[in-house]
């Protein structure tokens, strides 16, 4: 039983961490107009630790509080520039909040290539670059003049208090541009909305990392399916332990290759599903309604992104189904091999039994001959003894008669001795 601490209850060791998690990454209020440059980099554990150290040096050199040891998120203010840094399970993000230039600067210019990220070492492989402008909705102009009309998605968001638009295309500076037009947003709602839009694009890109993996293993999975069909057909057309063992070896190698591929792709496909779920949650959270006849972000992504996610899901399901089929076929073939081996063992035991029976009969024959041969020598020796006794006057009857009478006695004695010896050997074994 747990005793109470003095003055209170004994807390669970993870209680503070659990309670603080829901407040770990709060939305920061943002005033209109602003510009946000958002970057995401894939990072492993070593890269994440090195990146945290690099950010700590960056902040210390500028007189700003650095991130705490082991921190997963940090905010800093550098004059007019705000920084939001976060580390996730496999990626790290930097969000820079900049004063927004004139509205015309939303069109790509050379200044897009100059951003604070150049002052920090790259944490890992670069994946996401987003240029988000938060501007007043007054005089916004035509969206199709800013974005590619063929890929434009625009919608009223947050109870029609803003307009969000993007074409999901990369501009010459390497950024995907998002325009958020403020109709009646508060600063806190602006912060939440911009963060969700950044997350939609970030997680959309991360989710699509599974597509190249699916395209890479697609031919291998198809080849495995064809090989399994061929093996199954061969199983029905061939018989014999040699051919079955050859098929079983081939099937085992095929299963090993399939399991190796599945192990290398399961994490990526699982992560893609999780990221896609986050995208769908964020799309629901921004509360879209159609605007000016353009497709909403959710409608655009469902047409372009959903097929890729279905491809990943289909490849993973094919791998799982193939693994089950291979296991069933291998069990069936292994059973057939076991039956053939049992039949071979049965035939071998029958042959051994027959040889043992023949050996027993041969042994009995040899024993009979042995009794006769030994009896002959014993009778011969008795004959010499009888002749000597006759010559000495100790034997009153004829030597031939005495020898003849001794023959049955000798044979019975030798037979009894051989039988006792054989019984003794049987008891010892």
Domain boundaries, the chain: 28-204, 210-347, 361-424
Strand bridging mode 176-182 / 34-42: unpaired
Residue 110 pLDDT: 39
Residue 358 pLDDT: 80
DSSP string, 24-54: SSPPPP-PSSEEEEEEEEE--HHHHHHHHHH
Residue 19 pLDDT: 67
Kindly report the number of other CB atoms within 10 A of residue 332's CB atom.
13
- CA 279, 285, 286, 291 torsion-angle sign: positive
Residue 25 pLDDT exceeds 70: no
Decide which of 35 and 340 is more confident.
35
Tell me, what DSSP letter sits at residue 216?
H
The stretch 260-278 carries a mean pLDDT of 89
Residue 101 pLDDT: 61
- Helix, strand or coil for residue 85? strand
- Helix, strand or coil for residue 429? coil
Whether the CB-CB separation of 130 and 115 falls below 8 Å is answered with no
Residue 230 pLDDT: 83
Decide which of 348 and 314 is more confident.
314
pLDDT band at 123 (very low <50, low <70, confident <90, very high): very high
Residue 225 pLDDT exceeds 80: yes
pLDDT per position as a tens digit, 141-174: 678 888 888 889 999 999 989 999 999 998 888 8
Q: Which has the closest alpha carbon to 282: 157, 402, 387? A: 157
* Tokens 């309604």 belong to residue: 289
Residue 196 pLDDT: 94
pLDDT band at 111 (very low <50, low <70, confident <90, very high): very low
Whether the CB-CB separation of 301 and 283 falls below 8 Å is answered with yes
Decide which of 186 and 106 is more confident.
186
User: 244, exposed or middle or buried, with CB in 10 Å at 0-12, 13-18, 19+?
Assistant: buried
Of all helices (H) and strands (E), which one includes residue 74? strand 73-78
Residue 278 pLDDT exceeds 90: yes
State how far the alpha carbon of 181 is from the alpha carbons of 34, 71, 121, 303, in Å: 11, 34, 33, 25
State how far the alpha carbon of 168 is from the alpha carbons of 147, 173, 199, 343, 414, in Å: 9, 14, 13, 67, 109
The stretch 122-135 carries a mean pLDDT of 92
Range from 9-18, 37-46, 179-188, 381-390 that averages highest in pLDDT: 37-46
Residue 106 pLDDT: 56
Letter string b/e over residues 360-393, b meaning 16 or more CB atoms within 10 A of that residue's CB: eeeeeeeeeeebeebbeebbeebbeebeeeeeee
Residue 113 pLDDT exceeds 70: no
Residue 208 pLDDT: 92
The stretch 221-228 carries a mean pLDDT of 85
The stretch 271-275 carries a mean pLDDT of 92
Whether the CB-CB separation of 181 and 133 falls below 8 Å is answered with no
State how far the alpha carbon of 167 is from the alpha carbons of 95, 178, 303, in Å: 20, 8, 14
Residue 105 pLDDT: 47
Residues across the chain? 429
The stretch 54-68 carries a mean pLDDT of 90
In the numeric block, which tokens belong to residue 412? 């019975």
Residue 104 pLDDT exceeds 70: no
């Amino acid at each position: 039983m747990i005793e109470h601490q003095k003055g209170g209850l004994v807390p669970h060791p993870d209680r503070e961490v659990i309670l603080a998690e829901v407040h770990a990454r709060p939305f920061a209020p943002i005033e209109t107009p602003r510009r946000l440059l958002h970057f995401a980099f894939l990072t492993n554990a070593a890269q994440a630790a090195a990146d945290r150290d690099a950010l700590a040096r960056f902040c210390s050199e500028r007189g700003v509080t650095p991130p705490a040891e082991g921190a997963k998120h940090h905010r800093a203010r550098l004059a007019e520039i705000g920084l939001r840094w976060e580390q996730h399970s496999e990626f790290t993000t930097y969000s820079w909040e900049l004063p927004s230039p004139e509205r015309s600067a939303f069109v790509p210019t050379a200044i897009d290539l100059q951003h604070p990220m150049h002052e920090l070492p790259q944490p890992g492989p670069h994946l996401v670059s987003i240029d988000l402008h938060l501007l007043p909705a007054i005089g916004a102009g035509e969206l199709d003049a800013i974005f590619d009309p063929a890929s434009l998605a625009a919608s009223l968001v947050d109870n029609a208090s803003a307009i969000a638009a993007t074409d999901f295309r990369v501009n010459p500076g390497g950024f995907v541009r998002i325009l958020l037009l403020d109709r009646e947003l508060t600063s806190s709602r602006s912060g939440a909305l911009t963060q969700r839009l950044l997350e939609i694009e970030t997680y959309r890109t991360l989710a699509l990392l599974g597509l190249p993996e699916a395209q890479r293993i697609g031919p291998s999975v198809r080849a495995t399916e064809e090989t399994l069909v061929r093996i199954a057909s061969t199983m029905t057309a061939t018989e014999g332990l040699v051919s079955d063992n050859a098929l079983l070896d081939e099937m085992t190698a095929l299963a090993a290759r399939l399991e190796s591929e599945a192990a290398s792709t399961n994490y990526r496909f699982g992560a893609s599903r999780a990221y896609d779920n986050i995208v769908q949650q964020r799309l629901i959270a921004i509360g879209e309604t159609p605007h000016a006849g353009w497709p909403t972000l959710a409608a655009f992504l469902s047409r372009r992104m959903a097929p890729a996610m279905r491809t990943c899901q289909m490849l993973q399901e094919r791998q799982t189904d193939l693994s089950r089929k291979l296991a069933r076929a291998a069990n069936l073939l292994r059973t057939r091999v076991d039956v053939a081996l049992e039949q071979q063992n049965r035939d071998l035991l029958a042959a051994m039994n027959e040889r043992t029976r023949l050996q027993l009969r041969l042994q009995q024959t040899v024993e009979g001959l042995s009794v006769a041969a030994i009896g002959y020598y014993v009778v011969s020796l008795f004959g010499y003894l009888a002749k000597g006794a006759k010559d000495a006057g100790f034997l009153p009857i004829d030597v031939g008669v005495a020898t003849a009478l001794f023959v049955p006695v000798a044979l019975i004695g030798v037979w009894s001795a051989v039988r006792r010896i054989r019984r003794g050997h049987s008891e010892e074994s």
